[in-house]
Each structure stands twice: as structure tokens, then as C-alpha cells.
Structure 1
Amino acid sequence: MKQRASLRDIAAETGVSVATVSRVLNDHVNVAPRTRDLVLQAVERRRQAPVQRTVYVRCPYVLSDYFGLIVSSIAETLKLHGVRLLLDAGESAQHTEALRGLPGQEDVHGAILILPPEEGDELVALARAGFPFVVVDPRTPPPPDIASVSAAHSAGARAVADHLISLGHRDIAVIAGPSEWLAGDARLAGHRSALAAAGVLLSTDRLRCIEPTTAEGRRAALELLALDPRPTAVVCFNDKVAVGTMQAARSLGLKVPEDVSVVGFDDIDLSEATDPPLTTVRQPLQEMGSIAVSQLMRMLDGHRPEALHIELATTLVVRESTAAI
């Protein structure tokens, strides 16, 4: 089909029939010299014309604020480079073996994988096949030779704990993400280190590890806020979990931040729309997307990435959901 399409394109460009183009390409003698030259020149132009690159972007999640910002940044940066985007998004993509077939797709030149659910050995196999790709926000620690871009999760979490400690909080509960996630482990380590520096240990009854959704955040917060004594602050894995925590506090007749301070992570648009506005950690989501494209373009041009594992700085954004005790 590709060959027939090419024949039609050349025929349309030169003003001759598809049959004549075919006779020229098959070196038939009954073609006028001028027509033969015309067709061969058109063929040569097509051979020399640059092939537009296509990059496969896989985000096997709903394109909410968090993932949507990353994908939008990737799309805009690819467009600046004149690269075509092939997007595979939505939770159904989690159940497809998308990576195995990539090296055999001639019309896909590289990939950007956002929080890939695949195990590290599958990423290693893709790299060994010579297929260029970059991981954004890796779920597990990326293998040494695989390029990745993420936020400085541990540093962001330390900033949150330091902020609460400076306000006088010592009884701080943590609603963490899944224990097998790199971001969850790094943020929890950041919280623990800051608390330990202040002489505070995070006890197991003050810790919940959950799927980071509003509903799960509300459920976990109801458990934590029912403890006696009640924690004076709750640190949440992301802004959606923080919203669930604020809902739980309200349902128990507690005020934020008068009775309990609440902190999120990500700084999506939702964090400014809460009542009160949410103290959170801003992740450089758009920068993560654009840098991933820059790294991939270097690889497509035959160069090594400037750095294999890039961590971008986070920023603590203090709003009205935290207060001194």
C-alpha cells in the first residue's frame, strides 16, 4: 500500500500515469527519455527529503491536571522541533504490552514514557534493542543507563516537614503514596529525615500508604483524625489526597488550619480553589515535559543525553491551610 501511494504521489507530481512511473522504476525501455528523467528526478527529490520524525508518548492514566500539564508541555515542545506526536493515553493502556513492539515500528523514531507501569527489566530490554526513549517521573528507580526526568521528591518533602516544624508542629501524620512508588519512598524519606532532625520519630499509627486519590485520602484522614491524641498536622502525598483530608476534617467538625494543618504536593490548579487555599509543593511539571523532549532529541540526533537522571527542584508554596500551634 505504501508503494502504491508513493507511485500515485510521483505520478501526481510529474503529471504522468501511475503505469508510466511503474515502467520507469522497473527500467522498461518504452518510456521517452524526457519522461524517464522527469520521474527519476522526482524520485530522487523524495529520497533526499527529510523524514518527519514521530515520537510515541505513553501516559497510561487519565489526563488530569498533573498528567495533562506534562503531556501538553511535551506536545508543545515536540511541535517546536517539527516532530509528530503519537499519543497513547488512558488507564486502559496499562494493560497493553506497548513497549515490546516499539523497536519494530519503522514510523516511530523514539518514545517518552510517563510514569511507566512496566518493570525495570522491560525498560532495559527496550534500551538494549537500540530504541531511544526517556522516562518522565519513573515509578521505580530507573536502571543506570536509562534517561529519566523527575522532580526532587525528597527535598520537597523535607521542605514541607521543616515548614510545619517551624510552626511548632511535632505530632505530624503522613498520608503517603504506594510503598512501591519511587516518589512515595523518596517523599517519605524526606519527611522522616526532617522530623528526625527535630527529634521526632514518625510512628506507624501516624502513617498511611494509599492510592493517591481524593476518596482514599478522605478515608485515611478519617482514621488519622480519630486518633487520641489527634495529630496537629497531616502531610499528604498529593493535592487530591489533601482535598480528601480537608473533607474528612470538615465532616468531623474540625477547622483547617485552626484544628489541623494540611499540606499537599504538586500545586495543581485545585490547590488554589480549596477553602482555605492549600499549602503545597510545586512540581515543575511543564519543565519535566520540555526537558524530556530535549533529552530525546539529543538521542535521536546520535548524541548521549546531557545527563541520564535529571531531578528538577521543587518549591514550597505556603498558603492558608497551615498555621502555628
Structure 2
Amino acid sequence: MGQMASNRLTIRQIADLAGVSIATVSRVLNGRDDVAPETREVVTRVIRENGYTANRSARGLSAGRTGLVGVLVPLIYPAYFSGMLAGASEALAELDMQIVLSPTAGEHDREVSVLDKLHGVTDGALMMQPEESSAELVRLLDEGYRFVVLDPLMPLDQRIASVSAAHTSGADQAMRHLLDLGHRRIAQITGPRGWVATEDRRRGYYAALASAGIMRELTLEVESIPEIAPGRAAAELLLDLAEPPTAIFAFNDNIAIGVIQAARDRGLRVPEDLSVVGFDDVEHATVVSPTLTTVRQPLAEMGRTAVSLLNRLLERQRFETLHVELATRLVVRESTAAPRASA
């Protein structure tokens, strides 16, 4: 078997040499106790005989780690996901770990297939807005695979590690800014109903209205998917009301940009006739005219924090919480102002 020692062996090659499955090798490397002693001895002997201390990958294997981390992301190019990806990649590089990047297009079945392939050939995974249900993710956890969810779409079981932003606080900051400017008729364009971020930001919106003694109006709440064109369509519904809002709080920056477009189509000026606040603070927020007042999510830091949390899981460290929520911050730019006196 020693003839392969000079090569960078993969887990698949280890499995072939030992005559076992990739999953079995992974269980041995990760110190799982659900492997027969005879099988564990065979796999350990293959590892030892093939000199796994000869290079970085080998050292990782001898320590029970491959040095590979799967990163599942719906899409790579939107600034939102790329921001988290940039932070995660930097943190992984600092740990001398490599990314196995797997775009899923936000498709459930594709995501399940990718995870099935990653399980056994990577140490663990970072999952951005996974489509799997909490029950599906718990089953994956029970199989021994370690992962961290970034910005979960739906509520998760308490056993699932996650990193998110303080959505409710961010919405409260946005609303208080508009209220302090003098706005009282403030509309909300939400994300899809049921999403964690949607419901948390909705709570911040409601709480701010209540604290100002303003009654909720259902006509001032419109749902949208977080893209520019749907955001524009949602804004059109609000701006066509008999008594339109003087300000709109948008679920994300894409929707906010759609709002600005809809206002211009109607000859309205932002912020003179309509104030607009977004959420995320991606690069587009500083490119659009007027520049966008928005709530900043610490996207790169979310990626870095997720890597730190995953590494601690892989090292079986003890820690107080599996759920990290990072602070959000309002960034005031040109798209908000006091309402016109006649408004």
C-alpha cells in the first residue's frame, strides 16, 4: 500500500484501500464510536501505512480532519451572499482550510443532493439560507455531520448552530429614524411571509408604530420577493393608494431600489416627496441615486463568525450558545428626509 504515500490521497482512495465506504472512513476520522473495532483497525492501518503526516492534507487526515469545508449558497453573484462568502473564505484561509463551493440555485432537491455528496468528504459545511426543513437538518445532524446555518429562512431546532443578524433591532432603528423625521404614514414592503427575517422585521415595524401611538393599517403592508422588479411592483400598489405613504421601509436594498424606480415613474422625488429605507447595506446602496439610507447587516462578519462556530463544533469544544445574533446598524444617507409640510 505504501506506493501511494507520495500522492495526495483522497478519502475515496482511503476507502478503496481499506475496502470500506467513504462514510465509514469519515466516521473513523471523526472519532465516531459506531464503527466495528476490526473495521476501525483496518482504516487506521491504511492511514498509518500511507504516511498521512507527509503533507497538509495528510496531517489533517491523521488528526481526523480533511481540511475541506462545504459552502452551500443559493447564488454567488448577489452582493448579499458574496458578502458572507468573502468573510467565510478569509476565516477558512486563516485556519488553513479549503472551500468546496456549491451553488444550489435555492432548489431543495439540488441542495439535498449536494449535501449527500459533501457528507463524508468534507469536515462540515456552512449553509446560507438552506431550503431544507428544520426536521431534515436535524436528521443530518443526527448522522454526525457538523454544519452552521447562516441567515436561516425558517425557524430552526435549538440543536442547529446558526448565525444571523438582529433583524428586529434593525427594523426598529429604521422606523425610529423615519418617525423622528416626522413621518407618520409609513408603509412596509415585507419579504415572504414566514421567513425568520420577515417576521422579525415585521415585529420591529409594529413595535415602533405602537411606541409612537400609530395604529397599524393593513393597506400599508405589501409582501414581495426580495428583488428589484417585484419591489417596484409592490411600491406601485402603495403609491396608487388614495392616501399614499410619505415613507416606505423596504425588506432589503433590492426592494428599496425598486421603490425609488416606482417613485420616479410617477414623478415623485426621493426624498423630497417620499423617503425610502432599505436593509442589508450591500454595494448597490451607495451606487443608486439618491444613495440609500439602509440598515447594515455585518455580512462579512457573519461569514467569519460561522466559520469560528463550525471550527469549534469540529473540535468538540463546549460553548454557551449555538445561536449567534450580530448587531445591525442604521446608515443614514440621502434617501430620507422630513415629509413635506403639506403631507
Taking structure 2 as the reference length, what is the TM-score of the superposition?
Answer: 0.80
Tell me if structure 2 keeps the 8 A contact 1:219–1:248.
yes
Q: Secondary structure at the match of 2:267?
A: coil
In the alignment, is residue 248 of structure 1 matched against residue 262 of structure 2?
Answer: yes
Displacement after TM superposition at 1:9 (Å):
4.1
Matched residue, 1:28: none
- How many residue pairs get aligned? The number is 293
The separation in 1 between residues aligned to 2:156 and 2:254, in whole angstroms, is 26
In the alignment, is residue 50 of structure 1 matched against residue 59 of structure 2?
Answer: yes
Q: 1:55 and 1:93, CA in 2 relative to 1: closer, same or farther beyond 3 A?
A: farther
Matched residue, 1:178: 192
Tell me if structure 1 keeps the 8 A contact 2:5–2:50.
no
Matched residue, 2:278: 264
In the alignment, is residue 237 of structure 1 matched against residue 233 of structure 2?
Answer: no
Amino acid at match of 2:52: R
Q: Output one character per residue of 1:82-125: Cα deviation in whole Å (capped at 9) or x when no partner.
A: 1111010141654312366268x432110111011111101111
C-alpha root-mean-square deviation of aligned residues, in Å? 2.2
The separation in 2 between residues aligned to 1:8 and 1:44, in whole angstroms, is 7
Q: Which of residues 140, 148, 159 is equivalent to 1:145?
A: 159
In the alignment, is residue 7 of structure 1 matched against residue 16 of structure 2?
Answer: no
Specify every segment of 5 or more residues in structure 2 that has no aligned partner in the other structure, as ranges: 9-16, 18-45, 61-65
The separation in 2 between residues aligned to 1:168 and 1:264, in whole angstroms, is 18
Displacement after TM superposition at 1:146 (Å):
1.0
The separation in 1 between residues aligned to 2:6 and 2:175, in whole angstroms, is 66
Matched residue, 1:222: 236
Tell me if structure 2 keeps the 8 A contact 1:138–1:148.
yes
Q: Output one character per residue of 1:192-226: Cα deviation in whole Å (capped at 9) or x when no partner.
A: 00011101122111111111110000001011011
Q: 1:151 and 1:93, CA in 2 relative to 1: closer, same or farther beyond 3 A?
A: same
The separation in 2 between residues aligned to 1:243 and 1:301, in whole angstroms, is 43
Amino acid at match of 1:117: E
Displacement after TM superposition at 1:61 (Å):
2.5
Specify every segment of 5 or more residues in structure 1 that has no aligned partner in the other structure, as ranges: 13-21, 23-39
The separation in 2 between residues aligned to 1:131 and 1:7, in whole angstroms, is 32
The separation in 2 between residues aligned to 1:77 and 1:324, in whole angstroms, is 42
Displacement after TM superposition at 1:46 (Å):
2.7
The separation in 1 between residues aligned to 2:149 and 2:191, in whole angstroms, is 20
Q: Output one character per residue of 1:61-88: Cα deviation in whole Å (capped at 9) or x when no partner.
A: 3431000011111111111101111010
Q: Secondary structure at the match of 1:118?
A: coil
Q: Which of residues 116, 122, 130 is equivalent to 1:101?
A: 116
Matched residue, 2:304: 290
Q: Secondary structure at the match of 2:200?
A: helix
Q: 1:221 and 1:11, CA in 2 relative to 1: closer, same or farther beyond 3 A?
A: closer
Taking structure 1 as the reference length, what is the TM-score of the superposition?
Answer: 0.85
Matched residue, 1:79: 93
Amino acid at match of 1:43: E
In the alignment, is residue 274 of structure 1 matched against residue 252 of structure 2?
Answer: no
Q: Secondary structure at the match of 1:122?
A: helix
Amino acid at match of 1:111: A
Tell me if structure 2 keeps the 8 A contact 1:63–1:90.
no
Q: Secondary structure at the match of 2:52?
A: helix
Matched residue, 1:212: 226
The separation in 2 between residues aligned to 1:45 and 1:9, in whole angstroms, is 6
Q: 1:271 and 1:10, CA in 2 relative to 1: closer, same or farther beyond 3 A?
A: closer
The separation in 2 between residues aligned to 1:11 and 1:67, in whole angstroms, is 35
Identical-pair percentage: 42
Q: Secondary structure at the match of 1:265?
A: strand
Tell me if structure 2 keeps the 8 A contact 1:299–1:305.
no
The separation in 1 between residues aligned to 2:115 and 2:304, in whole angstroms, is 25
Matched residue, 1:35: none
The separation in 2 between residues aligned to 1:43 and 1:108, in whole angstroms, is 22
The separation in 2 between residues aligned to 1:192 and 1:46, in whole angstroms, is 58
Tell me if structure 2 keeps the 8 A contact 1:139–1:182.
yes
Tell me if structure 2 keeps the 8 A contact 1:296–1:305.
no
